[in-house]
A and B are shown apart, each in its own frame.
Chain A
Amino acid sequence: DTGVSQDPRHKITKRGQNVTFRCDPISEHNRLYWYRQTLGQGPEFLTYFQNEAQLEKSRLLSDRFSAERPKGSFSTLEIQRTEQGDSAMYLCASSLAQGRVNNEQFFGPGTRLTVL
């Protein structure tokens, strides 16, 4: 296992279409995060899983966004009825939680979404 992988790397879609991204974390990592990053900005937190439980979701995240991690392994992020403002890089990260210790996150290469 060489790291966090994300698929696809690039996605171009038309406004109004649904898109789904996949993230495969480092196998032994129990925490998984989704972020959105736009040009000139830092990663913006979207949601976070501990194993299969979604424990936190950003209030900035509209109802068009949903994420799952059904078996505590890979995760999917779906955006319904995409809008041009959704165009961004979507980053996935994973970490190994040890009690209350927040270990460093390992990031994937991201999925670049372009909404036309």
Chain B
Amino acid sequence: AQKVTQAQTEISVVEKEDVTLDCVYETRDTTYYLFWYKQPPSGELVFLIRRNSFDEQNEISGRYSWNFQKSTSSFNFTITASQVVDSAVYFCALSEARKSTFGDGTTLTVKP
């Protein structure tokens, strides 16, 4: 069975701090995709990043970076130099052949 766990329910940081959001997943499939989505107060989910199970190379995209480790089934997401506009709920998602499973989200509050 697929499962995504985001152990951090809420995180609060001060602007310009770096923040890492944790995600641990479970799957029996060898081919799968991992995503991070952002849900701002307005409510609409927005795609941020994607990684497939065969590519463990970690990357940086602007202020976003991610750390994918198959050995620990983790897909952590870091925001560098956080801004107030980063305040939102962040969801980690696991996508297999036909189904997507989301975690329960981490609410990030960035204070000025």
Give the B-binding residues of A (Cβ under 8 A). 33, 35, 40-45, 48, 55-56, 58, 89, 91, 93, 100-110
Instruction: Assess whether B47 is in contact with A106, with CB atoms less than 8 Å apart.
Output: yes
B104 beta carbon closer than 8 Å to chain A? yes
The CA-CA distance from A100 to B33 in the complex, in Å, is 11
B28 beta carbon closer than 8 Å to chain A? no
Give the A-binding residues of B (Cβ under 8 A). 4, 31-33, 35, 37, 43-47, 50, 52, 91, 93, 95-105
Total inter-chain residue pairs, C-beta < 8 Å: 58
Given A41-B104, A55-B98, answer yes or no on A103-B50 (Cβ-Cβ < 8 Å): yes
Could you give 22 example pairs across A and B, Cβ below 8 Å? A33-B100, A35-B102, A40-B104, A40-B105, A41-B104, A42-B93, A42-B104, A42-B105, A43-B91, A48-B98, A48-B99, A56-B98, A58-B99, A100-B31, A101-B52, A102-B32, A102-B33, A104-B47, A104-B50, A107-B46, A109-B43, A110-B44
**Nearest-CB residue, chain B, relative to A4:** B44
Chain B residues with Cβ below 8 Å from A100 are 31, 97
Chain A residues with Cβ below 8 Å from B91 are 42-43
**A45's contact among B45, B100, B103, by CB below 8 Å, is which?**
B100
